[in-house]
Amino acid sequence: MLGGRKTNIIIVDDSKMNLVILETLLKESGYEVVSAVNGAEALEKLRAEPERFDMIISDILMPVMDGFQLCRECKGDDKLKDIPFVFYTATYTDEKDVEFALKLGVDKFLRRPVEPDEFIKIIQGVIRDVREGKIKRKKPVLEEEKEVFKLYSERLVKKLEKKMLDLEREITERKRAEEMLRKAHDELEERIAERTKELAQANIRLEELDRLKSMFIASMSHELRTPLNSIIGFTGILLQGMSGEINEEQKKQLTMVKNSGNHLLGLINDIIDLSKIEAGKIEVLIKEINVAKTIDEVLATFANDVREKGLALKKNIPEKLIILTDEKRFKQVLINFLSNAAKFTVEGSIEVGCKVKEEEIEISVKDTGIGIREADMEKLFKPFAQIDSELRAKYGGTGLGLYLSKRIGELLGGEIWAESEFGKGSKFAFVLPIKREVKHEKDTGS
């Protein structure tokens, strides 16, 4: 409540389904909500009643006027510049997109999907911090119109060029492959002596086609996330009783739907990351991270699940250890290790350890789970390889997690290894350099 009235939020998104989800979630949390399908409509409503609105939540990629333009207009308007502005998007998610948004003056940048309860906590936090003066109102960094237009154009053109180039490259390469096969068939009898050379060239082409396949998978997987995010969002709303009370059986079935959706979303994200790595398009963002703080953030997400299973969660991590690495990828590997440990440990404990070895650190996850047979150890880090069909039926999984972790470890200049004793438990570890300089590869995927 602000000044005796409900907090009024305007939400902006060209997807009617996303607007319905956000409107339902915010109204059930006590907010007044006004919606708009693009930046131009939102700006018209804001300028008509500037004193009415207490927050703007906007998508970025929209017709007529997108989120970047809307933010720029609002921050340049004396009557609108102090209204907290939040981006909530699934399309513009690169770190450079975030950097550009912050330069425009946005107060918070959220990547879809966010769990309903977490989303509301974030929104409440922004409103509270603005009210208490913790978020200082500042002028946008980008003052020159020419500079804004240049950066804005770069972000937009990058998205459009990627899709066009992918399509053109696939068509061109397929035509080339068909032509090569046709010539090989016509000249087969005349070129028997050169057969070995031709086979070698064909292998090179197959590798190229495999790279194109990975790029195609990444593009298609991205298109699956929009409806999947809606499924997860609606089931979350239903589980919280926002659309009416549900009985225990309904809650059980909805939980199964939501868990399956989250599992599928995780798999899609793994496939996208793997495709980017295989295509050489992954972006590595090296910066200083506090190892203990980063590990604690990951452990917090597992605390409830581990506690419900009756397992002890231990850690042995030196304080104030700073390393240079990619924080997102560091967390991704650790989350995979902890997920496996929690999945395959019925009783006992899970322990996260960290050792410093000269210019390297070793992060390990040790459990008292079911362990791995020695004959199966070589299968651990191979794609889509699962060590036991009975275990797959009982615990699920695709066999991608450890292979992806191995590739990420190599990308960060380190390595990953494992040791296990069947029936007693396993230990997974990754070794990273404390100081790391890398050649940044631009991620041209969306």
pTM of structure: 0.49
Q: Is residue 227 part of a domain?
A: yes
What is the reported pLDDT for 151? Answer: 57
Strand partners, 429: 364, 417
Side by side, which strands form the sheet with 425-433?
312-316, 349-357, 360-367, 425-433, 415-421
What is the reported pLDDT for 52? Answer: 93
Residue with tokens 């299968």: 379
User: 234 and 359: one domain?
Assistant: no
What is the reported pLDDT for 390? Answer: 56
CATH code of 357's domain: 3.30.565.10
Q: Is residue 402 part of a domain?
A: yes
What is the reported pLDDT for 438? Answer: 44
Instruction: Please report, for residues 202, 399, 416, the alpha-carbon distance to residue 369 in angstroms, rounded to integers and kept in the order given.
Output: 46, 18, 19
What is the reported pLDDT for 373? Answer: 87
User: 92 and 38: one domain?
Assistant: yes
Q: Is residue 260 part of a domain?
A: yes
What is the reported pLDDT for 120? Answer: 94
What is the reported pLDDT for 445? Answer: 40
What is the reported pLDDT for 444? Answer: 39
User: 229 and 305: one domain?
Assistant: no
Please say whether the dihedral angle defined by the alpha carbons of residues 23, 27, 29 and 32, taken in this order, is positive or negative: positive
Strand partners, 425: 421
User: 314 and 393: one domain?
Assistant: yes
* Spatial CA neighbour of 446 closest among 36, 90, 85: 90
User: 101 and 215: one domain?
Assistant: no
For residues 145 and 153, the answer to whether their CB atoms sit within 8 Å is no
> Among residues 143, 158, 186, which one ends one of the domains?
143
Instruction: Please report, for residues 40, 217, 239, 313, the alpha-carbon distance to residue 64 in angstroms, rounded to integers and kept in the order given.
Output: 7, 30, 36, 51
Residue with tokens 């992918």: 166
Considering its fold, how many domains does the chain have in total? 3
What is the reported pLDDT for 79? Answer: 93
> Among residues 239, 258, 278, which one ends one of the domains?
278
HEC sequence for the chain: CECCECCEEEEECCCHHHHHHHHHHHHHCCCEEEEECCHHHHHHHHHHCHHHCCEEEECCCCCCCCHHHHHHHHHCCCCCCCCCEEEEECCCCCHHHHHHHHHHCCCEEEECCCCHHHHHHHHHHHHHHHHCCCCCCCCCCCCCHHHHHHHHHHHHHHHHHHHHHHHHHHHHHHHHHHHHHHHHHHCCHHHHHHHHHHHHHHHHHHHHHHHHHHHHHHHHHHHHHHHHHHHHHHHHHHHCCCCCCCCHHHHHHHHHHHHHHHHHHHHHHHHHHHHHHHCCCCCCCCEEEEHHHHHHHHHHHHHHHHHHCCCEEEEECCCCCEEEECHHHHHHHHHHHHHHHHHHCCCCEEEEEEEEECCEEEEEEEECCCCCCHHHHHHCCCCCCCCCHHHHHHHCCCCCHHHHHHHHHHHCCCEEEEEEECCCEEEEEEEEECCCCCCCCCCCCC
User: 384 and 427: one domain?
Assistant: yes
Query: Average pLDDT of each block of 10 consecutive residues along the chain (446 residues)?
Result: 77 94 94 95 96 94 90 91 92 80 89 91 91 72 54 60 69 81 73 76 80 67 75 87 86 86 77 73 84 91 85 89 90 90 90 90 93 85 64 56 87 90 92 67 40
Q: Is residue 131 part of a domain?
A: yes
Residue range(s) defining the domain that contains residue 223: 150-278
User: 128 and 154: one domain?
Assistant: no
CATH code of 86's domain: 3.40.50.2300
User: 115 and 233: one domain?
Assistant: no
d(CA 400, CA 387): 12
d(CA 157, CA 154): 5
What is the reported pLDDT for 436? Answer: 59
> Among residues 226, 243, 278, which one ends one of the domains?
278
d(CA 51, CA 44): 13
Q: Is residue 3 part of a domain?
A: no
Listed in sequence order, the residues at least 6 apart from 118 whose beta carbon sits closer than 8 Å to its beta carbon are none
User: 420 and 300: one domain?
Assistant: yes
CA dihedral 327, 328, 329, 332 (to 10 degrees): 120
What is the reported pLDDT for 162? Answer: 60
Q: Is residue 439 part of a domain?
A: no
User: 300 and 270: one domain?
Assistant: no
User: 166 and 210: one domain?
Assistant: yes
d(CA 352, CA 354): 7
Q: Is residue 1 part of a domain?
A: no
Q: Is residue 43 part of a domain?
A: yes
User: 136 and 156: one domain?
Assistant: no
